[in-house]
Amino acid sequence: MIRIEGRDISIYDQPDYKQGKRRGKEDVQVIRPDSLIPEEMKGIGKGKKFLIRTYGCQMNTHDSENMAGLLLEMGFESTEETMEADVILLNTCAIRENAENKVFGEIGHLKALKVERPELIVGVCGCMSQEESVVNRIMQKHQHIDLIFGTHNIHRLPELLRNAIYGKEMVVEVWSKEGDIVENMPRARQGKTQAWVNIMYGCDKFCTYCIVPYTRGKERSRLPEDIIAEVRDLARQGYKEITLLGQNVNAYGKDLEGKNYGLGHLMDEIHKIDIPRVRFTTSHPRDFDDHLISVLSKGGNLVEHIHLPVQHGNSEILKLMARKYTREQYVELAHKIKMAIPNASFTTDLIVGFPNETEEQFEETLSLVREIEFDSAYTYIYSPREGTPAAKMKDNVPMEVKRERLGRLNALVNEISAKKNLDYQDQIVEVLVEGESKKNPDVLAGRTRTNRLVNFVAPKSVIGKIVYVKVTEAKTWSLNGEMVEMAEVKQ
């Protein structure tokens, strides 16, 4: 235990960048505990409520479902109201500086609440907790935080929470290195229609700008039989869509010794399971092999949407990013996929303002967007992340120039999205109805197989079902339509 500014802090483990970067050869064990909640902790949440605020990617969204599962098993109930919560967890993202700023803003807001209600427990977890500098900053400056844990020890939440509730000190336990794969985590899934399924954890790609390999550890694949059992169970429960998750799903199986089993094999088996839609994210172009393309071209429940982040259109920048492909190789791969999966929608991620990016290099990103005609793209201004190789590169591009480039890129991406959406005008599309539209509760919203958002008026009884909708208006980011009869696709 240490004492900083009058606050006692119990540090079980602290993040260490050098460790986080290391890729050891030791085997990853799969552990299957009967229960992660020790007997004496089963009722500690009785009469209390928890709130988890999630930032970042789908991986975090799904981790939050696992944490919620653990908390429910401890007797807590869930709430959306900050004022009602007895435990608040911030599941954080470290990918860009603005993501981190949002979290520090929220940590600041919670201080007043903690002063008012000292028995409130505030925890910080997720990718930011894996950063040395963040943990140090919280310990020094945000002493109203009670608990910090990371991405590798989520299953330890019950014990850590107990220590935070009964001890008066701040509890810090962040493992720098990945641990075992824990199966049997209770999962409190948010919806009854769409489900996330982790297929692997971690990333070994070490793109020079990216923090994820440090915050999520080395690549570890779940066993195919565990994934398939989970998908079969979701199908039995009536889920309509699953998304297979990993930071680099194309590397799936590489660490499963002696198996020669990759994402293509896994998708081929899932193809046979009676669940209407299967998506996956995120793919890295480098390992997108012909076997996977041929499996995806079988269609059926494998939907026609490929998200394949390219990051940049210039080969020199791609090299500096350590993406390990050239513009030409990406274009060739994109064409191969488009030939094999006709009508596939093709989306991507793009970074502008990488250190020393010239106007000419940036224009190659624009020309790539024109050449591939991405259906949509997530676009970001490069954000230096402490500890990554790119953060050490000198950068001569002023922020105004980066912003201006982002504006031009977005205008082009939107123009192409709008044009591509026009192809849907008057077409009848298959829509999985997700719920009420966020903007108007009288309208329902759902997605096509190609991941287009569709808004239409229909009875609420079709929520969670797959229906046909005729598109009446194509907009830049969404389609409006009318449901065709009550025709429901096979449920």
| Contact footprint for ligand F3S (CB under 6 A) | 56-57, 59-60, 93-95, 126-127, 211-212, 215-216
Q: Shortest Cβ distance from residue 240 to ligand F3S (Å)?
A: 25
Binding partner at 380 among ligand SF4, ligand SAH, ligand F3S, none, C-beta below 5 to 8 Å by kind: ligand SAH
User: CA-CA distance, 157 to 445, in Å (whole number)?
Assistant: 35
Binding partner at 172 among ligand SF4, ligand SAH, ligand F3S, none, C-beta below 5 to 8 Å by kind: none
Q: Shortest Cβ distance from residue 108 to ligand SF4 (Å)?
A: 28
Binding partner at 206 among ligand SF4, ligand F3S, ligand SAH, none, C-beta below 5 to 8 Å by kind: ligand SF4
Answer for the pair 123, 90: CB distance below 8 angstroms, yes or no.
yes
Of 284, 320, 157, which is closest to residue 212 (Cα–Cα)?
A: 284
Q: Shortest Cβ distance from residue 186 to ligand SF4 (Å)?
A: 27
Return the number of the residue (210 or 366) whose C-beta is nearest ligand SAH.
210
Q: Shortest Cβ distance from residue 155 to ligand SAH (Å)?
A: 23
Return the number of the residue (125 or 467) whose C-beta is nearest ligand F3S.
125
Q: Shortest Cβ distance from residue 247 to ligand F3S (Å)?
A: 6
Q: Shortest Cβ distance from residue 167 to ligand SF4 (Å)?
A: 36
Regarding 385 and contact with ligand SAH (CB under 6 A), the answer is yes
Q: Shortest Cβ distance from residue 338 to ligand SF4 (Å)?
A: 22
Binding partner at 215 among ligand F3S, ligand SF4, ligand SAH, none, C-beta below 5 to 8 Å by kind: ligand F3S
Binding partner at 433 among ligand SAH, ligand F3S, ligand SF4, none, C-beta below 5 to 8 Å by kind: none
Q: Shortest Cβ distance from residue 106 to ligand F3S (Å)?
A: 15
Of 246, 287, 282, 286, which is closest to residue 264 (Cα–Cα)?
A: 287
Of 246, 379, 357, 253, which is closest to residue 310 (Cα–Cα)?
A: 379
Return the number of the residue (214 or 354) whose C-beta is nearest ligand F3S.
214
Question: How many beta carbons lie within 10 A of that of residue 110, not counting itself?
Answer: 20
Return the number of the residue (94 or 292) whose C-beta is nearest ligand F3S.
94
Q: Which among 235-243, 259-267, 380-388, 399-407 is the span making contact with ligand SAH, rule CB under 6 A? A: 380-388
The two structure tokens encoding residue 405? 């480039």
The alpha carbon dihedral of 202, 384, 175, 142 has a sign of negative
Regarding 210 and contact with ligand SAH (CB under 6 A), the answer is yes
Return the number of the residue (316 or 404) whose C-beta is nearest ligand SF4.
316
Answer for the pair 215, 130: CB distance below 8 angstroms, yes or no.
yes
Longest CA–CA separation in the chain, Å? 68
Return the number of the residue (161 or 210) whose C-beta is nearest ligand SF4.
210
Return the number of the residue (210 or 320) whose C-beta is nearest ligand SF4.
210
User: CA-CA distance, 422 to 444, in Å (whole number)?
Assistant: 21
Contact pattern for ligand SAH over residues 73 through 112, marking x by CB under 6 A = ----------------------xx----------------
Return the number of the residue (147 or 251) whose C-beta is nearest ligand SF4.
251
Return the number of the residue (151 or 314) whose C-beta is nearest ligand F3S.
151
Question: Which residues of the chain form contacts with ligand SF4 (CB under 6 A)?
Answer: 203, 205-207, 210, 212-213, 247-248, 284
Binding partner at 59 among ligand SAH, ligand F3S, ligand SF4, none, C-beta below 5 to 8 Å by kind: ligand F3S
Using CB under 6 A as the binding rule, the residues of this chain from 26 to 45 that contact ligand SAH are none
Binding partner at 213 among ligand SF4, ligand F3S, ligand SAH, none, C-beta below 5 to 8 Å by kind: ligand SF4
Binding partner at 94 among ligand F3S, ligand SAH, ligand SF4, none, C-beta below 5 to 8 Å by kind: ligand F3S
Q: Which residues are 179's β-sheet partners?
A: none
HSE of 402, CA atoms in CB hemisphere, 13 A: 18
Return the number of the residue (62 or 114) whose C-beta is nearest ligand SAH.
62
User: CA-CA distance, 73 to 38, in Å (whole number)?
Assistant: 11
Binding interface with ligand SAH (CB under 6 A): 95-96, 209-210, 212, 247-248, 282, 284, 309, 311, 349, 351, 380, 382-383, 385
